[in-house]
């Protein structure tokens, strides 16, 4: 009886080892890409908006390969559902929306699949946020990029909540996304501090007549940081939320890729 048990135990160990070998070799055949892999990393930031919260439920993030048709060729880079309050993503705060290995090649689109439960909070009251086709076809963003073997492609997604929320009446709100996609390798940042704190400064980055980015200085420190700015020269306008102070504009502010331009302390004068 003891001999039979020992034989059965040996047989079980052998079969388990054999099964493990088959599993390992089977996995290696299916996961090894023919052209090698690089990596994509998408970082989401936002500007302030006149709401208490703007909560977006993202269930999946995908990218589309150029060689495939519109229905196939979508690669999932984040399959973990999460809720993001866009209004927390300002003054240097950000969240990683996707970070994944990806087959080398040319890609043309990014898609955010939106789940149920997205909402906007106004004066303490929560309202459901209608997102047309968000759960089916998702929010599609046209952005061509290349993944190179062994390299990381880092992308900044600037979600403008203020211009994205549309009030349609009777307590109904709709999301019509206004977003900018800027590769981190060609973008930089602008930072500084508004004095005094009581001035409650709003900061805008302007190119020509277009406002590219904005933020509200932190109420406790007066500091601010504007992200995802393409390398170039801009005007930075500071508007006071306190009528007792003058506004000001700093011209010819140079942004260098992958660097921060620190404007130091900006003093707003009394009227």
Domain positions in the chain:
37-177, 187-267
The topology (CATH level 3) of 37-177 is: Immunoglobulin-like (2.60.40)
**Mean pLDDT over the full length of the chain:** 86
DSSP string, 161-182: HHHHEEEEETTEEEE---EEEE
Contact 89, 46 (CB under 8 A): yes
pLDDT tens-digit series, residues 22-38: 333 333 333 333 468 99
**What predicted TM-score, i.e. pTM, was given to this entire model?**
0.78
Which CATH architecture is the domain 187-267 placed in? Sandwich (2.60)
Structure token pair of residue 108: 């043309």
Residue 134, pLDDT score:
58
Q: Which of 165, 192, 189, 193 is nearest to 177 (CA)?
A: 165
- Where is pLDDT greater, at 33 or 238? 238
Residue 1, pLDDT score:
43
Q: What is the gyration radius of the CA atoms in the chain, in angstroms?
A: 25
pLDDT tens-digit series, residues 119-161: 999 999 999 999 887 566 789 999 999 999 989 999 999 999 9
pLDDT tens-digit series, residues 34-84: 468 999 999 999 988 889 999 999 999 999 999 888 778 899 999 999 999
Structure token pair of residue 169: 């009446």
């Amino acid at each position: 009886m003891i001999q039979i048990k020992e034989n059965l135990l040996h047989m079980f160990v052998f079969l388990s080892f054999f099964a493990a070998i088959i599993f390992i070799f089977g996995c290696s055949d299916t996961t090894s890409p023919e052209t090698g892999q690089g990596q994509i990393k998408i970082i989401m930031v936002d500007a302030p908006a006149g709401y208490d919260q703007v909560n977006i439920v993202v269930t999946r993030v995908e990218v589309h390969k150029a060689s495939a048709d519109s229905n196939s060729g979508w690669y999932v880079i984040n399959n973990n559902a999460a809720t993001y309050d866009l209004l927390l993503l300002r003054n240097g705060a950000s969240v990683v929306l996707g970070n994944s290995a990806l087959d080398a090649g040319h890609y043309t689109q990014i898609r955010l699949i939106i789940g149920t439960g997205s909402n906007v909070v106004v004066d303490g009251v929560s309202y459901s946020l209608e997102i047309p086709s968000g759960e089916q076809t998702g929010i599609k963003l046209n952005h061509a990029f290349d993944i190179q073997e062994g390299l990381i492609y880092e992308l900044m997604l600037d979600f403008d909540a203020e211009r994205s929320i549309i009030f349609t009446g009777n307590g109904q709100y709709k999301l019509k996304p206004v977003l900018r996609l800027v590769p981190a390798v060609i973008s930089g940042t602008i930072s500084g501090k508004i004095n005094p704190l009581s001035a409650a400064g709003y900061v805008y980055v302007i190119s020509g007549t277009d406002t590219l980015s904005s933020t509200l200085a932190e109420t406790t420190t007066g500091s601010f940081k504007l992200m995802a700015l393409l390398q170039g020269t801009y005007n930075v306008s500071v508007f006071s939320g306190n009528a007792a102070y003058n506004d000001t504009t700093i011209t010819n502010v140079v942004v260098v890729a992958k660097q921060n331009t620190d404007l130091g302390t900006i003093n707003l004068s009394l009227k």
